[in-house]
Amino acid sequence: MQRHLISAADLTRDDAVLILDTAEEMARVADRPIKKLPTLRGRTVVNLFFEDSTRTRISFEAAEKRLSADVINFTAKGSSVSKGESLKDTAQTLEAMGVDAVVIRHGASGAPYRLATSGWIDAHVINAGDGTHQHPTQALLDAFTMRRRLVGRDTGLGQDLNGRRITLVGDVLHSRVARSNVDLLHTLGAEVTLVAPPTLLPVGVETWPCEVSYDLDSTLPKSDAVMMLRVQRERMNAAFFPTEREYSRRYGLDGDRMARMPEHAIVMHPGPMVRGMEITAEVADSDRCTVVEQVANGVSIRMAVLYLLLGGAEFQTPSTSAAPARTAEENR
C-alpha cells in the first residue's frame, strides 16, 4: 500500500475520486461551530518548509489542527539548515523525535521522493511542492474546485471530470502546478490545453497528455475552466519574453477575453496573483474567479489526504512514480 503522496502521477482515477469525495465530507466540518475532528489525536505532523510559503503552509497547518494532530512547524531560515545541515541529517533528527508524517516543500526537484525512499525516516511523506517538479495537493484542490463548480457538490460525488476542457495559461516551464494538474486532470478524464509562449514551454512537452497552443484567444471559447499561471521570475535566469506589457497583451486575461468564455466557465489561479500582468483586477475580483474558493478547498483536500494516509483507508495504488532526472542529492 502506498504510504506517501509524492506526485499527482501516482494517483489512479479511483484514488483521486476517493480523495475528492473525502474532501467533500471534510468541507462540512468547516460549517460546524467547532471545526475539529479527533482523527489524528496523538499523531505528530511536521511541516518541513525549505521554501517560502503562505497559502500552502497555513492550509496544511489548519488541516492538521482541525484533525487534532500535534503540529510542529519547521522553516529553513533560522534553523541548522542555514548552518549547512543536510536534508538527511534533518530527516534523521525528526525520526529520532518520532514524528508520524512530514509535509515537505523544497527547492530541489526530487527532495520529497528522496526523503520517502531513502530509509532516513519511517514517516508518511507528503509533497507540498518540490522545485519545478510536482505539487500534488494543489492539483487535487484545483480538481475539487472544478468538480464543485462544473458538476455540483452533491451530484459530483463519485464523479470525475470526464470531457471537461481545461486550459492552463502562462509560465508552464517553471510551474510545478502545471505539471501536477496535467497529470491529475488527464487521470480524471479532462481534456487539457497548455497555452504559453514557446520560450515558457518545457522541452518534451509534446509527450505530455495534453494539447499545446500559442493562441489564447482561440482556446477561450472552448474552455470550461481557465487557469492562469504566475510568471515565476524567481526561477528565471534569462529573458523569456521581451516586456511585461507584451506578455500581458498576448497571454493576460482581462475583461474582454473573459467575456469570450462560455457562461458557465470559471477562472482559476493557484496564487499568488500578479494583478495587471497575467490577470487584471476586474477578472480577479469577478464572481467567475475561484481564487478564494480554492484556498478554502485547499484545507478540505489536505484534511482528506492526511486522514487517508494517517487515519483512514490507504490509497489503492501500490507504486510510487519514478524520481525526476535531478534528485535532491544532485542539486546540492
Cβ 255 vs Cβ 280: under 8 Å: yes
The reply, when asked if residue 159 is annotated as ligand binding, is no
267: β partners: 226, 289
The reply, when asked if residue 230 is annotated as ligand binding, is yes
Q: Kindly give, in sequence order, each residue whose CB lies less than 8 Å from that of residue 330, ignoring residues fewer than 6 positions away.
A: 110
Ordered strands of the 211-213 beta sheet: 211-213, 191-195, 165-169, 225-228, 266-268
The reply, when asked if residue 271 is annotated as ligand binding, is yes
At what angle are helices 13-29 and 136-150 packed, to 10 degrees?
A: 70
The reply, when asked if residue 269 is annotated as ligand binding, is no
> What number of other Cβ atoms are within 10 A of residue 70's Cβ?
15
With 0-12 / 13-18 / 19 or more C-beta atoms within 10 angstroms meaning exposed / middle / buried, residue 269 is buried
The reply, when asked if residue 135 is annotated as ligand binding, is yes
The reply, when asked if residue 179 is annotated as ligand binding, is no
The reply, when asked if residue 105 is annotated as ligand binding, is yes
The reply, when asked if residue 134 is annotated as ligand binding, is no
Of the candidates 257, 329, 328, the one whose C-alpha atom is nearest the C-alpha of residue 109 is: 328
Cβ 176 vs Cβ 130: under 8 Å: yes
The reply, when asked if residue 32 is annotated as ligand binding, is no
CB environment 25-48: b (16+ within 10 A), e (fewer): ebbebeeeeeeebebbeebbbbbb
| Grid cell listed for 173 | 516551464
The reply, when asked if residue 56 is annotated as ligand binding, is yes
Of the candidates 187, 194, 184, the one whose C-alpha atom is nearest the C-alpha of residue 141 is: 184
Q: Which residues are annotated as a binding site for carbamoyl phosphate?
A: 55-56, 105, 135, 138, 271-272
Q: Which residues are annotated as a binding site for L-aspartate?
A: 83, 176, 230
Q: Which residues are annotated as a binding site?
A: 55-56, 83, 105, 135, 138, 176, 230, 271-272
